[in-house]
Amino acid sequence: MAVNNYVLCLDVGGTTIKATEYLYSAAGEMVLEKFAFSDYGRDIEDDATEESAEKHRNMMADAVRKLITENAFKAKRVDLCLSGKSAYIKFVKLPSMVSDEKKLRQIIEFEAASAIPFDLDGVVWDSQIISKDAERGEIEAMFVVVKRDELEFITDVVEKLGKEIALIDVAPTAIYNAAKANGIGVDNCELLLNIGGSCSLLIFADKGRFFTRLIPIAGNAVTHQISKEFGIPYAEAEEMKRKHGFVALGGAYEEPDSEVATIISKIVRNVMTRLHGEINRSINVYRSQQGGRKPEKIYLSGGSSVMEYTLRFFEEKLRIPAEYFNPFQKIAIGQDVDKEMLAELAPAFPETTGLAVRNATNCPLEVALVPVSMRRCRDFREKSIYFYASTVCAFLIVLITFLCCMQLRVITEEKFQTIDRKYKNLKTAGDKVRAAESGFNSEKGAYDAACNILKERSVWPDRLTKIQELLPEGVWLSSFSYGVQANEPKKEEPRRRRRQQEEDLMFETPAEEKKEPSAPSEFDTIHFTCHCLRKNDAEDIRSKFLLNLEKSGLFELTKETAENMVQTVSSGAGPYNIVTFKISAKLKEKVKR
């Protein structure tokens, strides 16, 4: 329980609404700060019909609203107590052989399903173990049942006033907790009689045992008899009861001067006598069926118990000491509380006191009738701070992520601009490099062409040198020419050839009239004109020269080409002792001119 916290304890009875506000201090003290009382049932004569029941509920709701709003209670938390008439309480006995708490709970739920005379979906219920008798091997348990619609009706009224309901109890268990907090029934069996407006509650406090019975005889029964006796409306009969009501004494006693008071007192005595008969039957049932002890003292409480001589009547009838129950004996009273008025109304507030002590200490009966839906809402409200904190954290995460993305975008744009500038610079440099490379390639092409030309200058000298080396001994080369390999020319007679040569010399064509045949750009054949001495064998020399040409690797010498190489072989018919022959050899690769 949090310190310095206000709690409003609200008792919704059959005809009255009672409220007490407590402050739980840091020192653990429970202080009564304010109390209020409202009677709303004077116009209710019978609520058996649906119309009258609805009227009663509306009057109750109006009384709750009026009581809370007019007194301006500080507490936001509300502990609620319902009247004994709204609760169904049943006691059952279970075998004590079951020690497992979970299994025991399952047995209790099974017993409740069979013992509760209502549909479980339409009620709110709770159970509690009252006592364990090891000798008899029995466990006594209690079921407390409240109709869901009645419970939700009053809780909706309270919550719409801006309050939060934290605890819901019923009058019998609340009164018992208040009695235990004041030391009643600790060592002996003592009886509590709460006489309300619509019903009376009889509660046995027998050490650790608890037993209760609802008796439908209370203050409204007196009002109803007065209304019938005098033939007046219910509201007037209620006023008459409050003004003249007291319990007539038995035997010879001096009657009051007012005849009305005399009649009312006898009516009250008759009702109290009926109530006494029910109390005696309840004591017998408790002692015989529950194995309880005889009560040694009775405590009276409730709004209808304050009629004069009520205490004396039950003391004489039950033959045990009687006393009014003051639930505020061990509770600190605030400075602003009207103590005289509280002393007069103290017996009417045991229910709210029973609610209050549950917030300060462990009580013997802790019934919890908060519906599951309301409990979930309450848990959600208690955890709402974590929900809101999570929402704020999620919002901050989104905000931080957004800011980081914006900052990252700025950084990315700056880097992109830097990279773009570098790219443009590199592109410009690349264009320059490519232009320089193009110029270099152009110059290199010219250089390579020049190198090739220079290289080709040495090709023919090298080849001639190599061909010269291939000449056999005794053979010299007089001329060579190049061209495409031609067909073998027709053999002419030497005389005719010489004559043609002489004619060519005699009738020489002018230079400008000579037409040179167009030479091919490349060729693959070389024509050799060779000489050797006549004394040598020309055929052997030629064969040897062909063999040397084949070994050189420059010429393409197959069997066919070797046969066709020799184009003209002339014998030494001239004035000199020389043999002339020509050879046409095909190169392996064509050569540019």
Query: Which pLDDT does position 572 carry in this prediction?
Result: 47
**Residues 223/234, Cβ–Cβ less than 8 Å:** yes
Neighbours of 252 (CB within 10 A): 5
SS3 letters across 102-135: HHHHHHHHHHHHHHCCCCHHHEEEEEEEEEEECC
3-state class of 401 per DSSP? helix
Q: Considering the domain 217-324 in this protein, what is its CATH number?
A: 3.30.420.40
Query: Which pLDDT does position 389 carry in this prediction?
Result: 86
Question: How distant, in Å, are the alpha carbons of 63, 148, 233, 408, 525 from that of 48?
Answer: 21, 19, 18, 76, 142
Residue 173 CA to residue 144 CA, distance in Å, equals: 9
**Residues 299/179, Cβ–Cβ less than 8 Å:** yes
**For the chain, first and last CA: distance in Å?**
119
Closest CA to 93 of 36, 125, 22, 141: 141
Closest CA to 233 of 509, 44, 429, 38: 44
Neighbouring C-alpha atoms within 13 Å toward the C-beta of 274: 16
Neighbouring C-alpha atoms within 13 Å toward the C-beta of 430: 6
Query: Which pLDDT does position 544 carry in this prediction?
Result: 81
**In the structure encoding, which two tokens stand for residue 367, read together?**
């019934």
What fold, for 461-495+519-592?
Alpha-Beta Plaits (3.30.70)
Query: Which pLDDT does position 492 carry in this prediction?
Result: 46
**Residues 215/304, Cβ–Cβ less than 8 Å:** no
* pLDDT tens sequence for the chain (593 residues): 444 589 999 999 888 999 999 998 777 788 999 999 888 865 555 555 777 778 888 889 999 999 999 998 999 999 999 988 888 888 888 777 666 677 777 777 787 777 777 777 888 888 888 877 766 677 888 889 898 888 889 999 999 998 989 899 999 999 999 999 999 988 889 999 999 888 999 999 988 889 999 999 998 899 999 999 999 988 888 888 888 888 888 765 667 777 888 899 999 999 999 999 999 999 999 998 888 899 999 999 998 888 889 999 999 999 999 999 999 988 889 888 998 999 889 999 999 999 999 988 888 888 888 877 776 776 676 677 888 888 899 999 999 999 999 999 999 999 999 998 999 999 999 889 989 988 889 888 888 888 887 777 777 777 778 887 778 877 888 877 777 544 444 444 455 555 555 444 443 444 444 445 555 567 778 887 888 876 567 677 777 877 887 777 777 766 555 555 544 445 444 556 777 878 777 777 777 66
**Residues 467/479, Cβ–Cβ less than 8 Å:** no
- Using DSSP bridges, classify how beta strands 332-333 and 87-95 pair: parallel, antiparallel or unpaired: unpaired
Residue 179 CA to residue 186 CA, distance in Å, equals: 9
Beta bridge partners of 525: 483, 586
Place of tokens 């062409």: 449
Q: Where are the domains of the chain?
A: 1-87+147-182+326-382, 217-324, 398-457, 461-495+519-592
Q: Find the DSSP H helices in 307-383.
A: 310-318, 339-345, 350-357, 372-382
Q: For the chain, how big is the Rg over CA atoms in Å?
A: 67
**Residues 482/523, Cβ–Cβ less than 8 Å:** yes
Query: Which pLDDT does position 559 carry in this prediction?
Result: 56
The CATH architecture annotation of domain 1-87+147-182+326-382 reads: 2-Layer Sandwich (3.30)
Record the pTM: 0.65
Closest CA to 123 of 96, 94, 143, 140: 143
Closest CA to 178 of 347, 393, 317, 351: 351
Residue 241 CA to residue 224 CA, distance in Å, equals: 10
Closest CA to 226 of 258, 262, 263, 197: 263
Phi-psi region of 490 (alpha: psi -120 to 50; beta: other; left: phi over 0): beta
**Residues 201/172, Cβ–Cβ less than 8 Å:** yes
Which residues neighbour 580 within 8 Å (Cβ) at sequence distance 6 or greater?
A: 478, 529, 530, 531, 570, 572
**Residues 364/208, Cβ–Cβ less than 8 Å:** yes
CA dihedral 31, 32, 34, 36 (to 10 degrees): 160
Residue 342 Cα to chain centre, angstroms:
53
CA dihedral 80, 81, 83, 89 (to 10 degrees): 120
3-state class of 201 per DSSP? strand
What strands, in cross-sheet order, belong to the sheet with 138-147? 87-95, 138-147, 123-133
**Residues 235/42, Cβ–Cβ less than 8 Å:** yes
Provide the residue type at 277 as one letter. G
Instruction: Say whether 461-495+519-592 and 1-87+147-182+326-382 share the same fold.
Output: no
Which residues neighbour 535 within 8 Å (Cβ) at sequence distance 6 or greater?
A: 577
Query: Which pLDDT does position 500 carry in this prediction?
Result: 54
